[in-house]
Amino acid sequence: MTARMLVFGAYFLVVFAIGWFSLRATRDEADYWIAGGKLGWFTGGATMAATHTSAGTFMGVIGVMYTAGWSFGWVLISIPLAYWFVAAVLAPRFTRVRELTLPAFIETRYYSKGVRGLAALIVLIATVVYIQAQIVAGGLIANTVFGIPTTWGMIGFTAILLAYTVIGGMIAVVYTDAFQLMVMCLGAVFAVPLAIRQVDGMDGLFTLVQSAHPMVFSWSTMPAALLFTMGLSFFLGSIATPEKLVRLYAMKDMATIRRGVLFAIVMILGLNLIVMVLALAAIVLFPELPTGDLAMPLVATAVLPATLGTVMLAAITAAMMSTVDSLLIVAGSALSVDIYQNLMNPHVEPGRRMWIDRIGILVVGTVPVVLLLAGVGQGELVQFIVLLFTALMATAFALPVVGGVLWRRATREGAATSMVGGVVTTFLWEMYGSPSIEPVLPGFFVSIVLFAGVSLVTPAPPERALAPYFGEGP
C-alpha cells in the first residue's frame, strides 16, 4: 500500500503542478479553450493520442476481448484511416477559421445561432454519457488501489479532474495529457513482458488461451454485422467527436497538424496492440471473472510486482483522466460559451467570461457523478458506453462537419435536421433495435438522407457562409 500511495501521490502532484503552471499561462478565452492555437506537433499529437486512449482502451478493449475474443481487435483498422482522413481531407478547410468550439464552427458555416445552440445541446447530453463511463472506471481503480468503496473513488477522481481542468483550461489539459501519455506508455511497456512471463512466453500464451477460451481466435464470437458497425462507429467518431476536432484548432498550422496526427496514430496503435496482448494474458490468468472490465486492474495487482503494478494502475488512471479532462473542456465550452454567452447572455463583460467558463466546467463535471450516484448509467461494460457516445457524435456531426467543408450546397436546415435525425435514430436503435448492429449504422443513414435531401430543397447558403471554407484559403 505504501508503494501505491507514493506512486499515485507523485502522479497527482505532477498533475496539480501542471494545473498551477497553466493558470499562470492562461490570459484569455483562446488560451482557456484552445491553448491559444499555438501547440506544436508533439504536444498536439500527444494530447490527441491521450484523449483517444481512454478507459475504453485499457479497460474497455480488454473487457470486450476477454469476453468475446480477438475478433473485436479488427476495429483498430479504422483508427489510422480516420486520422488520415482528418489530416488529409478535413483539416485543411476546417481550420481556415480558428474557432473556440465545434458549435461555433456550426454557426459560422451554417449561419445560424439556433443551429449552434442545437449542436451545443447534443454535445452536452452525449458527453455526460461518455464521462460516466470514465468515472466508473476511475471508481474501480480507486477500489483496487486504495481499497475504498467504488462510489468514493468516483467522487475523488472527479474532484481531482475538476481541480486542474477548472483552473488551467486547455493549457492544463494538453500538458497533463502529454505527461499522462508517457505514464501510459511506461505502464504498458513494463506490463507486457512480465505478464507474458507468467504464461510461459508468447508460445505458451497462445496455447493456454485456446485452452481457457477455445473460441478466442474465432470470428464467430461476435456477429459480423456487429463488428463492421463497431468499426464504422470508431471511424466516424474519430472524425467527428468534438474533443478531437478542437485539437485541430489548438495546433498552430497544417504542417504541425499533419505531424501531430501521424504521431497520434503511431501511439494509439502501439498502445492498442499492447492492450490486446494483455487481454489474452488475462484470459489465461483469470478465466472466471464476473466482468471483463476487472481484467486489467487484476493484471496490475496480481501479476506485476507492487511498484510496477502501481505504475500500470497509474497508466489506466492516466488514460481515464486524459479523456475526461478533454470532455470537460468540450462540454464546459458548449454550456458556457455556446449556450450561455452566445444565446442567453451575449453581452457578458469580458472580465466575467473566464469565471463563467470555469463555472461551466464545474457544472458539467458534477452532473455525471450525481447521475451515477442515483443509479443512472451503471452496469454496462465500459467499452459499450464508449461506443454509444461515439455513435451519437458520429451521427450528429460527421455530415455537418465533413459535408460542411466539402459540399457548397449544404444548408442550415439540412445540418439541423441531420443532427436531430441522426441522434434520435441512434437512441431509438439503442433501445429497440437489433443488438447485432451498432446504432451508428441506422443513425448515420438517416443523417445522410436528411442532410442531403433537406439541403437540396431549401434555399442555398449565402456566400458569406461559404467564403471562409471554399475560397482560395490563406
User: Predicted confidence band at 108 (pLDDT cuts at 50, 70, 90)?
Assistant: very high
At 120 the pLDDT is 94
At 249 the pLDDT is 94
Residue 362 domain flag: yes
- 22 vs 133: which has the higher pLDDT: 22
Residue 417 domain flag: no
At 258 the pLDDT is 95
- Number of structural domains in the chain: 1
At 450 the pLDDT is 97
User: Taking Cα atoms as reference points, which of 119, 115, 87, 88 lies closest to residue 102?
Assistant: 119
- When pLDDT is averaged across residues 250-270 and rounded to a whole number, the result is 93
Residue 47 domain flag: yes
- 354 vs 453: which has the higher pLDDT: 453
- pLDDT tens for residues 292-349? 666 777 777 776 777 777 777 777 777 777 778 888 888 899 999 999 988 888 888 8
Contact 335, 360 (CB under 8 A): yes
At 53 the pLDDT is 79
pLDDT of 471 strictly over 90: no
> What is the rounded distance in angstroms from the CA atom of residue 95 to the CA atom of residue 44?
14
Domain that holds residue 171: 2-383
CA-based angle 420:444:455, to the nearest 5? 60
For 183-210, the DSSP string reads HHHHHHHHHHHHHHHHTTHHHHHHHHHH
User: Predicted confidence band at 383 (pLDDT cuts at 50, 70, 90)?
Assistant: low
At 382 the pLDDT is 55
- When pLDDT is averaged across residues 186-210 and rounded to a whole number, the result is 79
Residue 248 domain flag: yes
- pLDDT tens for residues 360-372? 889 888 888 887 7
At 71 the pLDDT is 75
> What is the rounded distance in angstroms from the CA atom of residue 364 to the CA atom of residue 448?
30
Task: Please tell me the least confidently modeled range out of 73-87, 250-264, 442-456.
Answer: 73-87
- pLDDT tens for residues 274-292? 888 888 888 888 777 766 6
Residue 376 domain flag: yes
- 28 vs 146: which has the higher pLDDT: 28
At 271 the pLDDT is 85
> What is the rounded distance in angstroms from the CA atom of residue 53 to the CA atom of residue 319?
6
For 357-368, the DSSP string reads HHHHHHHHHHHH
At 378 the pLDDT is 57
Average pLDDT across the chain, whole number = 84
This prediction's pTM: 0.86
pLDDT of 162 strictly over 70: yes
- When pLDDT is averaged across residues 244-248 and rounded to a whole number, the result is 91
Instruction: Return the top range by mean pLDDT from 109-118, 145-154, 194-203.
Output: 109-118
- When pLDDT is averaged across residues 32-53 and rounded to a whole number, the result is 89
- pLDDT tens for residues 370-381? 877 776 655 554
> What is the rounded distance in angstroms from the CA atom of residue 95 to the CA atom of residue 105?
9
At 115 the pLDDT is 95
- When pLDDT is averaged across residues 398-410 and rounded to a whole number, the result is 95
Residue 441 domain flag: no
Residue 358 CA, distance from chain mean position = 21
At 18 the pLDDT is 86
At 101 the pLDDT is 93
Going by C-beta distance under 8 Å and a sequence separation of 6 or more, which residues neighbour residue 149?
143
At 1 the pLDDT is 55
- When pLDDT is averaged across residues 20-32 and rounded to a whole number, the result is 85
- 127 vs 409: which has the higher pLDDT: 409
Residue 397 domain flag: no
- When pLDDT is averaged across residues 247-263 and rounded to a whole number, the result is 94
- 223 vs 456: which has the higher pLDDT: 456
User: Predicted confidence band at 251 (pLDDT cuts at 50, 70, 90)?
Assistant: very high
For 28-53, the DSSP string reads SHHHHHHGGG-B-HHHHHHHHHHHHS
At 110 the pLDDT is 96
Query: CATH code at 248?
Result: 1.20.1730.10
- pLDDT tens for residues 205-230? 778 877 777 777 777 777 778 888 88
> What is the rounded distance in angstroms from the CA atom of residue 438 to the CA atom of residue 446?
14
pLDDT more than 90, % of the chain: 30
Residue 239 domain flag: yes
At 449 the pLDDT is 97
